[in-house]
Amino acid sequence: MPLLRRVVNLFSRSRVDRAIAAEIQSHIELRIEDNLAAGMPPAEARRDSLLRFGNPTVTRERVASADLALSLESAWSDVRFAIRQLRRSPGFTFAAIATLALAIGANAVVFSVMNAFILQPLNVPQAQSLYALQHGDEASGAESYPNYLDLRDRNRSFDGLVAYNICGVGLDTGGNPSSAWIEEASGNYFDALGLQPYLGHFFHAADEHGVNSAPYIVLSYAYWHSRFQDDRSVVDRVVRVDGHPFTILGVAPPDFRGTLLFFNPDFFVPLVEDQLLAGDDLNARGSQFVFETMGHLKPGVTPEQAAADLSAIGADLQKTYPKDVGKMTFVLKRPSLYGDFLGRPVRAFMAGLMLLTGLILLAACANLGSLFAARAADRSREVALRLALGSSRKRILRGLFTEAIMISLAGGALGLLGSVALLRALSAWNPFPGFPIHLAVNPDAEVYVVAVLLALASGLLFGAVPVRQVLQTNPYEVIKAGFASRAGKRVSARDLLLMVEIAICAVLVTSSLVAVRGLTRSLHAHFGFNVENTMVASTDLSMSGYSSDRVPAMQKRMIEALEDLPGVESVGLIDTLPLSTGGGGSIVFTDNTPDLRPTNAAANATFFDVSPEYFHAAGTALLSGRAFTWHDDKNSPRIAVVNREFARKLFGSAADPIGRLFRLRDGTRTQVVGIAEDGKYNSLTEYPVPVMFLPILQSPSTSTVLVVRSLPNRNQAPQLLGAAMRSALRRLDPGIPLDIVTRDKPMDVLLFGPRMATVSLGVLGAMGVILSLTGIFGMATNSVSKRLKELGIRVALGAKQREVLQAALSRAFKLLAIGSAAGLLLGILAARVLAFIVYQATPRDPLVLAGVVLAMLLLGLVATWIPAQRALSVDPGRLLREE
């Protein structure tokens, strides 16, 4: 077993080493014997033998390197040597490891996130062939139930097309009502996705027999764990969902968290129960409530063929049902991010992030390269000495590379540890309380491998920087001439790298400042309502068993109960909050449209159902006309308050829209009684949207959001009012699940994207600053220590402080200026992209420009402070004496 022997040899280096030494010794003594026998005097005999043998140490090294075991051993001694060397210069070691840890950590985090969000499809078998349907003309996959059935049964491309909808419900397992988020799934859902239950069984297509025929529940593993404490006896238990009995069938597998990334439903019920739980009409072809459909492609069918197949069915449906079905074409998208709707921004954001972190890594490598090169230059004397003493260049290079690899492994490990901690926190984080949104990112082996490879690759990359320097070292020259202070080339590769690094840093600083400014501005923008002194209480009355006529009566009692609270100015009611979950969309027609088919629609309006007092309570200004009254009920003519954009779209801007008529989707003639100011409704970055407000009594909704405006200047904490609101509403009905927060809280959902962008840019910007700082610092230090002698002579000849500084640091500042200017320019260009994510992000902002210039200037000052001190404190006398 040669391998075994070698490994054994590894632990007995001294024994093997002694054997080689003994052999060489015996060789020398045999020759001495022969020399003596030939008649030489003893001293002469010994001298001749040693001379002839040459350097025994070098021979011993070479013999040892012939032995594989010993070369392994010498690798270990290289490592020990490298550690000793690194310990001797802790500043360099710390800077190098920290720089690399930052870069590797950032890349590991971003790669993990990308891996989880984009590269890895849903957790189902054969995810590669799973595609979601998206409409050809908009980034949405919403479908009506009858259309879904037709698509499912008539297509020839899919192995089963599944559909699901998202819904909030109240769950009561016996005296403890709580709200839950569920996926309503088609009967074939689990079978077509190829899933096996963890416990019990799933529901199947055969269980459905029309509307509300399958009251079954499949729990998600996480919910089973948190709500039912892993109780295996839950199977066949009957619980109440929105007051209706449902039977628990089983538990889904642990790694299946629904078919929409980020959204982890608590349990699954059949889609045919939607009418009961969400109130949608399963038979209405025009009601597009099904959230998304998806399926596995049959073997050999391409996504394009399948899309053409579906579009053909769509065209046929449009011809058959012109009243309900608009243009219906399809494209296939990867599921999990709701096609392009979430997919495009998330992918764009991640690509941008990946690019930036890649740049950070590059900058870190450039930094390390210059750190190592500077170190090699500082050690050129040591290298020359070792070369002169007979060390091979190979051995010295090996030492350098060992150091580089040690640093990259240490930095990589540190960065990876940090990123794992960060990702753990990210996975556990629930950004929107009340929604089952989780960013499940678990770094897996792939990420570790990539990070280690990245670390090693960068290690070898920057380790290679000083190679040429070592190879070109002429020991004789270096030792003779002392510090070879070659006048550098005009622009070296290292200078260029540093400049690029500074530019990257400036880009990041610019973008993060732009993002921060945009974010602050968007927090103080006017949204068409007033967030101050306002609390909101939300619930869905269907969760606590209210239906039809009991709903408006209860809503009115709730409003009155809150109005009686002290300090409350007014109370309004709306079905869904603007700039939170947003309003529903519905097409509208001008009054004289003869044929009410979707293609003839005048606009797609967002609508809200509101109570009379809503406009006052929300702080939405009415520009003309009147608000609603409690007499605008089902028996009176249908009316609406519309915003200016709606009026522009339907009636043109010239005429006074008050009193004009338009038609709702179902043809109802509706009269405009008031004009409200334009606002933001679905997102902060949206263009003006046509919006109509309908009286809650004419357009009832169980979804209830009470907007409570309290009197200003009454130093009442929102929490106190919140508690008072809760107890007032509880007195009416203790069984209503309530969510009471300040008005700006629900907007967190919308600000999530901008905030994430700002935070990531800020973190990356900080990294860029740190890297530039160390980069400039390294360069300035290097240039000062190289020219110390020259500076000394200048001082001796009477140079002023300013001149000394100019000589020592002008190059660093030139690089800083050029890099910053380039970075600022690029940053301004990049900010245009940012404007898509962050509301009102504009680089044409004197504050941003001034901020960037100031930041870069500060950075330059901090980075060159120490080298500048050193240059100024040059003592020519001492310096000339030493050299």
Partner 1 sequence: MARNDFQGSLDLLVLKTLAQRGKLHGYGIVLHIQRASDELLHVEEGSLYPALHRMEQSKWISSEWALTDTNRKAKYYKLTAEGRRQLQEAEESFDQLVKGVRAMLEYA
Note whether 54 binds partner 1 by CB under 8 A. yes
Helices 13-37 and 2-10 cross at an angle (nearest 10°) of 90
* 22 or 723: CB nearest partner 1: 22
User: What is the spatial distance between Cα 427 and Cα 222, in angstroms, rounded to a whole number?
Assistant: 14
Beta bridge partners of 662: 590, 670
Closer Cβ to partner 1, 32 or 350, answer by number: 32
Give 390 or 667: the residue with its C-beta nearer to partner 1: 390
Among 10, 31, 556, 688, binds partner 1 (CB under 8 A): 31
Residue 3 Cβ vs partner 1, minimum distance, rounded to whole Å: 12
Among the residue ranges 52-60, 616-624, 632-640, 874-882, the one whose residues contact partner 1 (CB under 8 A)? 52-60
Shortest reach from residue 397's CB to partner 1, in Å: 20
Q: Name the one range near partner 1 by CB under 8 A: 49-57, 362-370, 550-558, 822-830.
A: 49-57
For 383, counting Cβ atoms within 10 Å of its Cβ (0-12 exposed, 13-18 middle, 19+ buried), the class is: buried
In whole angstroms, how close is the CB of 6 to partner 1 at the nearest point?
A: 9
We find the least distance from the C-beta atom of residue 32 to partner 1, in angstroms, to be: 10
One of 7, 11, 12, 29 touching partner 1 (CB under 8 A): 29
Q: Looking at beta carbons, which pairs linking 457-461 to residues 24 or more positions away fall under 8 Å?
A: 458/100, 458/103, 458/104, 458/361, 458/364, 458/365, 458/368, 458/408, 459/100, 459/404, 459/405, 459/407, 459/408, 459/409, 460/401, 460/404, 460/405, 460/408, 461/365, 461/369
In this chain, which of 10, 21, 27, 735 binds partner 1, going by CB under 8 A?
27
Residue 54 beta carbon to partner 1: minimum distance, rounded to whole angstroms: 5
Of the residues 7, 30, 238, 348, which one makes contact with partner 1 according to CB under 8 A: 30
Nearer to partner 1, 40 or 83 (CB): 40
Q: What are phi and psi of 843, to 5 degrees?
A: -80, -15
184, 277 Cβ separation under 8 angstroms: yes
Angle between helices 493-523 and 801-834 (to 10 degrees): 50
Interface residue with partner 1, options 24, 397, 461, 793 (CB under 8 A): 24
Nearer to partner 1, 12 or 128 (CB): 12
| Least spacing, CB of residue 881 vs partner 1, in Å | 43
Binding segment (CB under 8 A) for partner 1, from list 19-27, 295-303, 305-313, 339-347: 19-27
Place of tokens 């949405």: 140
Using the rule CB under 8 A, give the single segment among 48-56, 103-111, 267-275, 364-372 that binds partner 1: 48-56
Only one of the segments 16-24, 88-96, 107-115, 358-366 lies at the binding site for partner 1 (rule: CB under 8 A); that segment is: 16-24
CB atoms within 10 A of CB 577: 21
Residue 615 CA to residue 610 CA, distance in Å, equals 8
Taking alpha carbons only, the member of 36, 96, 149 closest to residue 371 is 96
Minimum CB separation of residue 388 from partner 1 in Å reads: 18
E strands, 62-177, are 130-135, 158-172
Question: Is residue 8 within the footprint of partner 1 (CB under 8 A)?
Answer: no
Q: How far is Cα 497 from Cα 798, in angstroms, rounded to an integer?
A: 35
Q: CB under 8 A: which stretch of 17-25, 196-204, 535-543, 841-849 binds partner 1?
A: 17-25
State the nearest-atom distance from the C-beta of 25 to partner 1, in Å. Answer: 9
Decide: 716 and 710 in contact? Cβ < 8 Å.
yes
Which range, of 23-31, 205-213, 503-511, 787-795, touches partner 1 by CB under 8 A? 23-31
Q: Rounded to an integer, what distance in angstroms lies between the CA atom of residue 186 and that of residue 152?
A: 11
Q: How far apart are CA 458 and CA 409, in angstroms?
A: 10
Report if residue 323 touches partner 1, rule: CB under 8 A.
no
Using the rule CB under 8 A, give the single segment among 20-28, 77-85, 144-152, 513-521 that binds partner 1: 20-28
Whichever of 63 and 409 has its CB closer to partner 1, that residue is 63
DSSP state of 487: P
12 binds partner 1 (CB under 8 A): no
The CA distance from 68 to 75, in Å, is 11
Using CB under 8 A as the binding rule, whether residue 59 contacts partner 1 is answered as yes
Q: How far is the CB of 30 from partner 1 (least distance, A)?
A: 4
Q: Does 39 bind partner 1 (CB under 8 A)?
A: no
Q: Which is nearer to partner 1, 60 or 660 (CB)?
A: 60
Closest CB 60 distance from partner 1, rounded Å: 8
User: Judged by CB under 8 A, which of 7, 11, 12, 53 binds partner 1?
Assistant: 53
Q: Which of 52, 323, 557, 878 binds partner 1 (CB under 8 A)?
A: 52
Does position 50 interact with partner 1 (CB under 8 A)? The reply is no
Least separation, in Å, of the C-beta of 443 and partner 1?
Answer: 43
Q: Which is nearer to partner 1, 70 or 306 (CB)?
A: 70
Range in contact with partner 1 (rule: CB under 8 A) among 26-34, 290-298, 513-521, 670-678? 26-34
Of 46-54, 159-167, 615-623, 664-672, the segment contacting partner 1 by CB under 8 A is 46-54
**Shortest distance (Å) from residue 774 CB to partner 1:** 44
Q: In whole angstroms, what is the distance from residue 633 CA to residue 458 CA?
A: 71
Q: How far is CA 631 from CA 464, 621, 697, 701, in A?
A: 83, 21, 9, 17
Binding of residue 22 to partner 1 (CB under 8 A): yes
Amino acid at 870: R
> Scanning residues 811 to 870, which ones bind partner 1 (CB under 8 A)?
none
What minimum distance in Å lies between the beta carbon of 4 and partner 1?
14
- In sign, the C-alpha dihedral spanning 644, 649, 651, 655 is positive
Asked if 20 touches partner 1 (CB under 8 A), the answer is yes
Q: Is the dihedral of CA 172, 175, 177, 180 positive or negative?
A: negative
Q: Which of residues 62-121 bind partner 1 (CB under 8 A)?
A: 62-63, 65-68
Give the footprint of partner 1 on residues 220-239 (CB under 8 A): none
> 771 — phi, psi (to 5°)?
-65, -45
End-to-end CA distance of the chain: 57
Q: Does 33 bind partner 1 (CB under 8 A)?
A: yes
Q: Which is nearer to partner 1, 50 or 879 (CB)?
A: 50
Query: CA geometry: angle at 832 spanning 831 and 834, to 5°?
Result: 60
> In which residue are the tokens 């011993």 written?
60
Residues 881 and 876: their CA atoms lie apart, in Å, by 8
Pairing relationship of beta strands 691-695 and 603-610 according to DSSP bridges: parallel
Number of residues that bind partner 1 (CB under 8 A): 25
- 711 lines the binding site for partner 1 (CB under 8 A): no
67 or 591, CB closer to partner 1? 67
Q: Which of 441, 446, 437 is nearest to 421 (CA)?
A: 441
CB of 391 to partner 1, least distance (A): 15
Q: Residue 180 pairs with which residues in a beta bridge?
A: 169
Tokens of 841: 């992000």
Structure tokens at 690: 């046509």
Nearest CA among 86, 13, 83, 24 for reference residue 49: 24
Q: Residue 659: phi, psi to the nearest 5?
A: 90, -10
* 3-state SS, residue 658: coil
> What are the φ/ψ torsions at residue 849 (nearest 5 degrees)?
-60, -50
Of residues 65 and 590, the one with the C-beta less far from partner 1: 65
Taking the complex as a whole, the smallest distance from the CB of residue 473 to partner 1 amounts, in Å, to 23
Chain contacts with partner 1 (rule: CB under 8 A):
2, 19-20, 22-24, 26-27, 29-31, 33-34, 52-55, 58-59, 62-63, 65-68
